[in-house]
Structure formats: structure tokens, C-alpha cells
């Protein structure tokens, strides 16, 4: 099916493609998007002509005002024939990013990290490239639609060709995450689609490369561990300042994941700060308490360097992401090119 962009190029979408967004990206069109599962609204567009099916009528990425104006989400729309749409291309991604592919993958292992967070390792039928910090779509059995999860490893790690790893949190009442935990056992196969995402690790500058700030809240550990691994795999000397926000001492297994990276790096290139927002009384904890974004501001201020002396990557709950956007963009005026995150809601 042919999709024509108003006053722009046209591209073709395969009849079996599951959404306009995925078809556009696979065709090489730089469609704007963030979460790609209906939550953020980053892929809004206007349908000017042609048949288009809506996959999720109540997707939270559209406000009631958007719906009254006839806006649609590309990730929740499927062309039914030739169409004409209005959308502004993202225009920000460089060429050379790995192309997304939908493949059948087999679960090899599921390893517990905290009581409700596990790392899932899948084997793909081929070695599909991705960038540190990107994500993929997983299609849990018995659940309609896809769920987005970030890679928790870095590409090209020794002994891991054709393996994709994800940190997945079991969410109370979450149909997707509970299906992955309860219905997918080692040896089972599901569909994976990726890579996607804009928060991939950018290479350091040739001269005076900036150190990297990684800020993770909850399951944001996965993509931030991926970014940190990517930095440490570089031939250069860039350092990582890793801030990990957890709730209670029961989640400290997540900190052990980063501490292991720190030990492998010899403690010179990675510095870890763990913050508990609600430590359990009666259990030992002598570390920092409060919100992780507050500790980021205090720690970077204490280091005495301007905030724009770093590249900033972060992933976590929406309130944390919003607080960091305010801190970095509004109050510290860090250039947007040095701020990288994918918004999941």
C-alpha cells in the first residue's frame, strides 16, 4: 500500500505490516515517535485521504482534544489501502542506524534481579544489530498488541551474538508483563520487533569527550546499564556517573548489577550512587535517601562543573523523567543535543 506524505515523499507499507509507524520506519521514512505503543503521542498524524484502521481506540497518547481534531497515532493505525497523511518528519536521526526487524525469538533464561524485576535473555535466529540504549517491542502470548522494553546489554558483547536481553518488571495488573512472567518459559518462542528508540549512546567527541551521566529509576536500570556498558566498551576514557533510584532495600539487587560493572571497570571509569526513596525502617541503610533527581542536582553541583559538561541519559517513571527535564532543560539550560531519553507512560 502506498502512503503519501502531504507535500512530501511517498513510501510503501507491506500488507502484513502491523502498524503505519513500523511500516514507515522499515521503509526508511523518519516518522516521529517515542514509545511506539500508544502511550506518549509522539507519532500523531492527520489522515487526509484513504482507509485507515484504528487498533486501540482509547490509547492514552491522544487527548480528548486530539480526538476531536481527528488526530491519530501511527503506532495504533494500520493502512487498509493507499492513503495520504499529514505529518512532520522527525528529521533528527542520522543515517546508519540499524533497521528494525520483526523476528521469532526463543527465551533462553529468566534471571531474577529484584523480587519484581528479572532479566530475560532471548536468542534470535540471526544477529540483529542495535545501539546501546535502544528498545524493542515484545508480543506476549494471549495479549493484544506489543509492549516496549529496553535492551539491558550493549551490542557486540563477547559471547552474545544473536542474544537480546531485557530488564522486565512484573507490574501488578499489567497484562503484558504478567504474561511474560507466567506464560513464557525457557524454550518458548515469541515475536520481537526492533530496534527502536532515540536514546541510543552517541559516540564521544574526538577532542575533549564529555563524561556520561546515567540516571535510572526502577526498570530504567535496563537501558541505563546498556548505555553504561557501551561507554565502558569504548577505547576512550569517558567516565560514567551512574545514579540509581530505588524504593526500598529489597530492590538493592539492581544496585549489585551496576556494582558488577563498576568492579569490571576497576572502579576508575564508573561511579555509582544509589538512592532509596522509601527505605524500610529497621533494615540497614546508610546511603542516600530521597528522590534520585534531587541527588543528581546535589552531586553534580558539588563536583563544581557545569551541567553542560556532561552528556545526560535517563530512563524511569514519568515523574522522574519530568523532573529531570525541568532540571536539565529549564533550570540548567543543557543543550538538547546532550539530553537523551525515551518517554514511556
What pLDDT tens digit does each residue of the chain (345 aa) get?
999 999 889 999 988 888 999 999 888 888 888 878 887 888 999 999 999 999 988 888 899 999 999 999 999 999 999 999 999 877 555 557 888 899 999 999 999 999 999 999 999 998 889 999 999 999 999 998 889 999 999 887 655 678 999 999 999 999 999 999 999 999 999 999 999 988 999 988 777 889 999 999 988 999 999 999 999 998 888 999 999 999 999 999 999 999 999 998 877 899 999 999 999 999 999 999 999 999 999 999 999 999 999 999 999 998 999 999 999 998 999 998 899 987 655
Q: Which residues pair with 73 in a beta bridge?
A: 44
Structural domains of the chain, with CATH? 2-86 (3.10.20.30), 101-196 (2.40.30.10), 211-343 (3.40.50.80)
266 phi-psi bin (left φ>0, alpha ψ -120 to 50, beta other): left
How is residue 213 annotated by DSSP?
E
The phi and psi torsions of 219 (rounded to 5 degrees) equal -75, -5
pLDDT at 18: 84
Asked if the bond preceding 195 is cis, omega within 30° of 0, the reply is yes
Task: Please tell me the distance from the alpha carbon of residue 310 to that of residue 122, in angstroms, as a whole number.
Answer: 33
Q: Give the separation between CA 254 and CA 189, rounded to whole angstroms.
A: 27
Q: What is the pLDDT of residue 92?
A: 53
pLDDT for the residue numbered 94: 55
pLDDT at residue 34 in the model = 83
Q: How many CA atoms lie within 13 A of 312 on its CB side?
A: 24
**pTM of the predicted protein model:** 0.83
> DSSP for 51-113?
-EEES-TT-TTS-HHHHHTTEEEGGGEEESS-EEEE------PPTTPPPPEEEEEEEEEEEEE
Cell of 46: 492527520
Task: Look at the chain and count its residues.
Answer: 345
Amino acid at each position: 500500500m502506498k502512503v503519501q506524505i502531504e507535500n512530501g515523499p511517498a513510501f510503501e507499507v507491506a500488507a502484513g505490516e502491523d502498524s503505519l509507524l513500523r511500516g514507515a520506519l522499515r521503509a526508511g521514512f523518519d516518522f516521529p515517535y517515542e514509545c511506539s505503543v500508544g502511550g506518549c503521542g509522539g507519532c500523531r498524524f492527520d489522515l487526509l485521504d484513504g482507509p485507515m484502521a484504528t487498533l486501540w481506540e482509547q490509547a492514552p497518547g491522544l487527548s480528548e482534544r486530539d480526538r476531536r481534531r481527528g488526530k491519530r497515532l501511527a503506532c495504533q493505525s494500520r493502512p487498509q489501502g493507499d492513503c495520504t497523511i499529514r505529518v512532520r518528519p522527525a528529521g533528527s536521526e542520522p543515517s546508519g542506524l540499524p533497521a528494525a526487524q520483526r523476528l521469532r525469538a526463543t527465551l533462553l533464561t529468566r534471571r531474577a534481579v529484584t523480587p519484581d524485576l528479572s532479566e530475560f535473555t532471548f536468542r534470535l535466529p540471526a544477529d540483529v544489530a542495535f545501539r546501546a540504549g535502544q528498545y524493542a517491542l515484545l508480543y506476549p502470548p494471549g495479549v493484544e498488541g506489543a509492549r516496549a522494553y529496553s535492551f539491558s546489554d550493549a551490542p557486540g558483547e563477547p559471547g552474545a551474538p544473536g542474544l537480546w536481553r531485557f530488564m522486565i518488571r512484573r507490574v501488578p495488573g499489567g497484562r503484558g508483563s504478567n504474561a511474560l512472567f507466567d506464560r513464557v518459559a525457557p524454550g518458548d518462542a515469541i515475536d520481537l520487533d526492533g530496534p527502536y528508540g532515540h536514546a541510543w549512546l552517541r559516540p564521544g567527541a574526538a577532542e575533549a569527550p564529555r563524561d556520561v551521566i546515567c540516571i535510572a529509576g526502577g526498570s530504567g536500570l535496563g537501558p541505563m546499564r546498556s548505555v553504561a556498558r557501551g561507554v565502558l566498551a569504548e577505547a576512550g576514557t569517558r567516565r560514567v556517573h551512574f545514579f540509581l533510584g530505588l524504593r526500598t532495600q529489597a530492590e538493592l539487587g539492581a544496585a549489585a548489577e551496576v556494582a558488577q560493572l563498576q568492579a569490571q571497570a576497576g572502579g576508575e571509569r564508573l561511579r555509582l550512587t544509589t538512592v532509596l526513596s522509601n527505605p524500610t525502617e529497621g533494615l540497614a541503610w546508610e546511603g542516600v535517601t530521597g528522590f534520585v533527581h534531587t541527588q543528581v542536582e546535589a552531586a553534580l553541583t558539588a563536583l563544581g562543573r557545569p551541567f553542560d559538561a556532561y552528556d545526560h541519559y535517563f530512563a524511569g517513571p514519568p515523574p522522574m523523567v519530568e523532573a529531570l527535564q525541568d532540571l536539565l532543560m529549564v533550570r540548567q539550560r543543557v543543550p538538547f543535543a546532550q539530553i537523551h531519553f525515551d518517554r514511556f507512560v
